[in-house]
Structures are given as C-alpha cells and as structure tokens.
Structure 1
Amino acid sequence: MSAPVNPFIATETRLGAQNYKPLGVVLSRGEGVFVWDTDGNRYLDCLSAYSAVNQGHCHPKILAAMIEQAGRLTLTSRAFHNDQLAPFYEEIAALTGAHRVLPMNSGAEAVESAIKAVRKWGYEVKGVPDGQAEIIVCADNFHGRTLGIIGFSTDPVARDHFGPFAPGFKIIPFGDAKALEAAVGLNTVAFLAEPIQGEAGVIIPPSGYFAEVRQLCTVNNVMLILDEIQTGLGRTGRLLAEQHDGIEADVTLLGKALSGGFYPVSAVLSNHAVLGTLKPGQHGSTFGGNPLACAVARAALRVLVEEGMIENAALQGAHFLEGLRSIRANTIRAVRGRGLMLAVELHKEAGPARRICEALQARGILAKDTHEHTIRFAPPLVITRDQVEWALEQIGATLMQEVA
C-alpha cells in the first residue's frame, strides 16, 4: 500500500510550476543546524539553502535586527537616502576591502550588474570598440538562471529551448590557466569564475591556478570577477575563498549568506574604476539597498565574525572532510571539499545520487544531489564537532548500505 500524499506537496504539484524536484519533506521550522518537518521529525540541514543559511536557521540576533528595522522603515527606494545604507557600506567595505559597493537583491542580479558594469568600463576606460566587449567564462559554471546568464552556461538543462542568447562570451575549461591565456584578446574586458564550482559538484581548481589567473588579468588589463555567492562569507573557512590563494579580485559578488537566510540581499564589490562608470539612471533596483535589507545584512555580517563562524567552518570542515574520506564504500569515486563546502561523487554504476539523499533523509540528514552522481554537504557554519561526528555516522552507514 502506497504512502498517502502529503497535502502540501499535492497542492504544490497541482498549482505550481514544475521547475523543481525537491525531496519529499515539508519543512515548517528551523533553528541553528536543524530543521523540522510538519510531522515533527528533526533533520540536520546539510544544504543550508545552498549556503544562504551559513549563520544557522533563524539566528536570534539577525532576527532581532530584522524585527526592529521592520518596525521603523522597510523601503524607500533609492530615490531617497536611508540611515542603514551608509553604515552597511562602511561595514562591508571595512570587512572585505572593497572600494565601492553596489547593493542588489539576488545573486543572479549581482552577476548581471557586474556584467553590465565591466562592459561599460571596457568601452569607456579600456577603449574597446562599442558592442565588441568580450567576457571569458568557464565551462560547467553556475552563475544564476536569468536569460543573460544561461546564455553562457554549458548545462543543456539550463539552456535548451530558452534562446536566442546574447553574444559576447567565450567559454574555456575551468582550472586551466593556459586556456585563459590563449583566450584573452584585445576586446576582453573580464574573466568571470567561481573560486570553487559549487553546482558542478564542488570542483576545486589546481593549486596556484588563481594566482596565475590574477597575474594574467593584471598584465592584460582584464577585470577578474569572482562569483563568491556560494563560496563567500565563511563557507570555505575564510571570509572569501579568494583568500586561500592570496589574491584579490577586481569585482567580488556576494549574496546568499549576506542576509543569513532572512531576506534577499546581494552586492557587487569593486574598485572605483568599474563601478565608477555607472551614472544616475543607468542602473538600479527598487529594492536594492533598502533599509530592511541593509539592517539584516549588517547583523548577518556581524554575527559571522563575532561568533567565530568562519574559524569554525575551517575546523569542522577539515574534520568532516577527513571523515568522508575514511568511508570505504567501493562505489565512492571521489571526495572533495574546502571548509564546509563538501561533496561525495559516486561512480556512475552506483546509480543516481538522489536515492542516497532519500536514504539520508530517513536517517535525519537533508542533503542534495547535483549532476546526478554527486552529493553535496554544506551544513550551517555553527555546526559542532559532535554534530559532525553524528552526521558522518549516518552518511557512512548509508553509503555502506546503499552503494557498497
């Protein structure tokens, strides 16, 4: 006899667009590293809303800041100044070293904004002929779902039947500095990449790659854009993933954990050369930089630093990675990770990774498959050693049982 269909899931299926395929769990509450479903079952969240909940679910200090600001002023648009935007600028610039900040809403919106800004810089500062600016990107990238962004995706699921797409992008392999060197031309204005390719399965480039990339971009007067929307704000054990390579991007993109999961907030961080090209009326957003978003983001950044979450990500991530590598299931093809951004890739013969995620759900862990054969593990940065140990026990038992 089949299990009864959850009424929430039934309604979503009947009325919603079918562009997602979530696990069969309906969540109703979250606190720290845990979430609860409508039946009261507790789960360790090992996805963190794709790293948007780095600070843990419903962090009380971020919640308090949101409630306080929501009772004072939520939205003015950028037609007027507000008393939260300037402090947000000051605090994020002091933390990251940014010279200019452009606040937006979603990560994809930050990516689109950066593309516009570097193209404008290319025409007005570098001297690229109008309409000829070129941006180099990487194969297997994931920068969002807008029409502009999917035009330079190599994922057929993201691209098929959504064209025609805008020109101006050149795709090269990720982690190959020689390919970048060969691709750069006179009209190249930027190189856009993720420090670690998250959606592709936590793909980490070779050691020294980004140092070479930084040098190539500097020599050729090309802006280096790093999409740190997933990797940034502590996820890899550093504030920004670029810090593992000792480099500094010309343009850094943040989102997701910038609000601790409370509100859509993103930002383009850059130098004056790039963002200084934008003049009044040339770019904007009704909600970008609104006082509620700024107050939430300020609190989210503050707790990230003051509560040692970045250091904890490095410590617990190293232990988590070691534990995953110690699992001896013979169908594990590879284990990758940096900080609390981790992945287990299965051999194709093991079948779809989704069934492993479903088995983990039954054991109280929520994780997500990607690219069919890879499982990502990215718990909130507040996870403890005991919680990591428990998670490893469940993951190990599941992999040994399901794919050994």
Structure 2
Amino acid sequence: MSKDNIMNTYGRFDVTFEKGIGSKIYDINGKEYIDFVSGVATNCLGHSHPAIIKAITEQSSKLMHISNYYWNTEHSKLAEILIKNSDHSKVFFCNSGTEAVEGALKVARKHGKLSGNLNKNILLYMDNSFHGRTFGALSVTGQPKYQNDFRPLISGVKEVKFNDIEDLKKNFDENVCGIIIEPIQGEGGINPADVKFLETARVLCDKFDALLIFDEIQCGMGRLGSLFAYKKFGVIPDVISIAKALGGGFPIGAFITNEKASKALVPGDHGSTFGGNPLGSAVGTAVLTELTDGGVIASIDEKSAYLKEKLNSLKDKYGVINEVKGMGLLIGISLKTSPKEFMNACFKNGLLVVTAGADVVRLLPPLNVTIPELDEALKLLEDVFKEITA
C-alpha cells in the first residue's frame, strides 16, 4: 500500500491504524494503543460508539445531502439542542473548526459595517493562540511559525497579550468590531483564560459595540465538564465557534450567535455546500444526546479530579513535571524534558498523546473514558517517567 500519493503536510508517526473500539485503537499489525489524542479532542465518545454507528446507518439509508435551498429535519433538531443548551439564538452549520472561525470573523466584520463607522473593522486576537490554517483564521492566530510563509495575511487585525488586561484596554477602541479568544488555549499549551480578563473583554465589547467571539473548537462540547466552555467561566460571548467533538469524529462545525450578532448576516452573505447536511446533523444530534442525556458530561468533573490527583502524584514522585494544568479532560503536563521525546516514548509504550506549546504534552481522552482506562494510561505514563529518570 503506497503512501507516496499523499501530500507531505503532516509529521506522521510510522503507524497505520485500521480499527478502534472505545478508547483503544489497533494498527494493521494488531498492536493495541490507548488513544488519549482522540483525534485531537474530536472522538469524544471514543471509537465505533454504537450511537454514532446507528445514526450513520439509519440516516444514510434515508437522506445524506440536499442543498441549503431547502430545510431538512436533522439540522433543525441539532440546532434546537444547541440553542436549548446555550444563551444564544441562531446557528450556522459548516464542516470544520476553521470554517466556524471564518464565519465568526465575517459576522464581526459585517456587524462593524452595519454600525455606520466605516473604520469599525479591527479584529483583536491573542498572542500564542491558534484558530486554524485558512487565511482568515491564520491572520488571527498568534503564532508566527504558522503565519510567516503565507504573508501577507488579511489586514485589520491586532494582537493582544493573552490575560493582560492593560494591553487589552490599550488596544480596544470604537474601531474594534470583534475579539476572538480561546477560553483555554489548546495548541498554545493548555493555557486557561483568567476570568477577570474575559470579564474585561465582555465589558469593553459592550462599551464599544464589538462582538466577543469564543473559539471553543477544542475546549467545548463537554470537554471541560459543561457542554459549552463559556459556562465554566461565567462570561457569555456573542459568538461561539464549535466543531471537533460536535460530530464525535464525523466532520461538522458550527458557529452560534446571540440575537444581536445573528442580525449581521443575510441571504448571500455566507454559505456552505455541505453545512448542515442531514447525515452530519443526525450524527451531531446522536453525539450531543449521549453527552447530555446519556450522562457523559456529568461524569467529567469526577474523572478530571481523579486524573489530576494521580498526575500530581507522579509529579511529586519523579520530578519531571513542572505543572499539571487544564480543566475537565483537557489536561496539559508541562515537562522539564522534551515533550516530543516524551510523546514518542509514550507511543512506543502503546499510549497516544500529543504535544502543545513549548513544553506541554496533552491528554485528551474520550469523554466517556472509564476510571480503569485512566489507570491503564497512568501506568503507561509512569513507565515512561521511569525510563527517562533511570
């Protein structure tokens, strides 16, 4: 089986996977791994979950795709669940997180245009942030290593120091149309936003009639222990970008708006050929039903506390960990050793983890992971700590 026809855009491990069940995944040689990458926080119900298989099987036999010139039953169902569980009023469906960010940025720009102030087009973003790799999302990503080879990017953007209230105030004025923030920076190193910083952003947006956008693509959809991440911080944004876990592994994204923000876009302003298709929407509904009614989200806080306690014990025992950080089941281990080498050692031992930022390894287990499965992963982690401190 040739791999030469696939474009060289990822630093892939030398492994080919072919099946997975729950938190376990198996390569073509039958080797078992514990998957604590979960498609980078996407496979929130693990692999081959019965509810997802059922939704795909049943819906694919009825209707997979129609044009958005028409309504379909499934996107209406999914929208109703999202709005019922949020403080917002409208949903736009797309296919990925980057698309959800692009849509949110367009809402903010159009909102600025409608204000009557022709200069109200500035988008603020955070240093060390990550929002995607399309030109718009890349332009508000605060990491030059992703941007440099693709300049010039879009204009009308300004970087703000994350969690620096004074820098936020200094850059905010009547020409700002929107600000985009990850409640927890994922790719940047599992860095939570300070509540005071988010509260200040909310006050400034209200003062200057700008839109507060939360990028919850990695930290939302249950991962922090609430369906939406913003509920853990007590600050309500105007727009939320979601994706990843929304489909449990099936491609779907969305941005959600409150009443004020929803008025910005009118027919012709935005679109998505596959956005809100019946198949993706049916899967999203199945996933959210498991997360909410199925009790998955209700179990997150207990699992998070257990995992953090065990990791802090490893910190005390081996002296290789700087800090255990994050919320819910979005956990970062800041290391005194190379995170890439640590990740590779975990891989050899049969545990999949992924790096973030300069010194962090992320643990992103399925949200329905069991305590015994956490113990299995912790044992493999301890084996790696033993190896690197021997």
TM-score for the superposition, normalised by structure 2: 0.95
- Per-residue CA deviation, residues 265-324 of structure 1 (Å, 9 max, x unaligned), is 111110232222212122101101111111111111111112211122221111111211
**Which runs of 5 or more residues in structure 1 are unaligned?**
1-7
Q: Decide whether the 8 Å contact of 2:124 with 2:140 is kept in 1.
A: no
Identify the residue that residue 257 of structure 1 maps to in structure 2: 245
Distance 1:19 1:372 in 2: 21
Distance 1:367 1:48 in 2: 9
- Greater shift, 267-276 or 294-303, is seen at 267-276
SS in 2 for 1:317: helix
Q: Decide whether the 8 Å contact of 1:208 with 1:245 is kept in 2.
A: no
Q: Decide whether the 8 Å contact of 2:190 with 2:356 is kept in 1.
A: no
SS in 1 for 2:191: coil
Identify the residue that residue 272 of structure 2 maps to in structure 1: 285
The one of 179, 194, 197 equivalent to 2:167 is: 179
Q: Decide whether the 8 Å contact of 1:47 with 1:377 is kept in 2.
A: yes
Q: Decide whether the 8 Å contact of 1:354 with 1:372 is kept in 2.
A: no
- Per-residue CA deviation, residues 162-218 of structure 1 (Å, 9 max, x unaligned), is 121110111011112222111101111111010000001101233533233222322
Query: Which amino acid in 2 is paired with 1:57?
Result: H
SS in 1 for 2:346: helix
The one of 163, 168, 171 equivalent to 2:156 is: 168
Q: Relative to 1, partners in 2 of residues 1:37 and 1:307: Cα closer, same or farther, differing over 3 Å?
A: same
Identify the residue that residue 330 of structure 1 maps to in structure 2: 319
| Corresponding position: 1:95 with 2:81 | no
Q: Decide whether the 8 Å contact of 1:44 with 1:366 is kept in 2.
A: yes
Query: Which amino acid in 1 is paired with 2:117?
Result: V
Distance 2:358 2:8 in 1: 18
SS in 1 for 2:33: strand
Identify the residue that residue 106 of structure 1 maps to in structure 2: 96
The one of 367, 371, 380 equivalent to 1:394 is: 380
Identify the residue that residue 340 of structure 2 maps to in structure 1: 354
Distance 1:276 1:380 in 2: 36
Shift of 1:242: 1.2
The one of 280, 287, 292 equivalent to 1:300 is: 287
Structural mapping, 1:121-270, within 5 Å: 121-124=111-114, 126-129=115-118, 132-261=120-249, 263-270=250-257
Query: Which amino acid in 2 is paired with 1:302?
Result: T
Identify the residue that residue 30 of structure 2 maps to in structure 1: 40
Q: Decide whether the 8 Å contact of 2:98 with 2:131 is kept in 1.
A: yes
Shift of 1:403: 4.6
The one of 361, 365, 368 equivalent to 1:379 is: 365
Distance 1:273 1:206 in 2: 25
TM-score for the superposition, normalised by structure 1: 0.92
Structural mapping, 1:18-29, within 5 Å: 18-29=8-19
Q: Relative to 1, partners in 2 of residues 1:375 and 1:74: Cα closer, same or farther, differing over 3 Å?
A: same
Query: Which amino acid in 1 is paired with 2:96?
Result: S
- Greater shift, 191-200 or 20-29, is seen at 20-29
Distance 1:282 1:204 in 2: 33
**Which runs of 5 or more residues in structure 2 are unaligned?**
none
Query: Which amino acid in 1 is paired with 2:199?
Result: A
Distance 2:265 2:229 in 1: 27
- Greater shift, 18-27 or 184-193, is seen at 18-27
Distance 2:206 2:264 in 1: 19
SS in 2 for 1:208: helix
Identify the residue that residue 73 of structure 2 maps to in structure 1: 83
Distance 1:267 1:210 in 2: 22
Distance 2:31 2:166 in 1: 51
Q: Relative to 1, partners in 2 of residues 1:162 and 1:337: Cα closer, same or farther, differing over 3 Å?
A: same
Aligned-residue CA RMSD (Å):
1.6
SS in 2 for 1:116: helix
* Identity across matched positions, percent: 32
Shift of 1:105: 0.8
Shift of 1:250: 0.7
Query: Which amino acid in 1 is paired with 2:345?
Result: A
SS in 2 for 1:142: coil
Distance 1:243 1:15 in 2: 44
Q: Relative to 1, partners in 2 of residues 1:403 and 1:195: Cα closer, same or farther, differing over 3 Å?
A: farther
Extract structure 1 runs of 4+ deviating beyond 6 A.
none
Distance 2:164 2:342 in 1: 32
SS in 1 for 2:185: coil
Q: Relative to 1, partners in 2 of residues 1:354 and 1:207: Cα closer, same or farther, differing over 3 Å?
A: same
Distance 2:27 2:284 in 1: 27
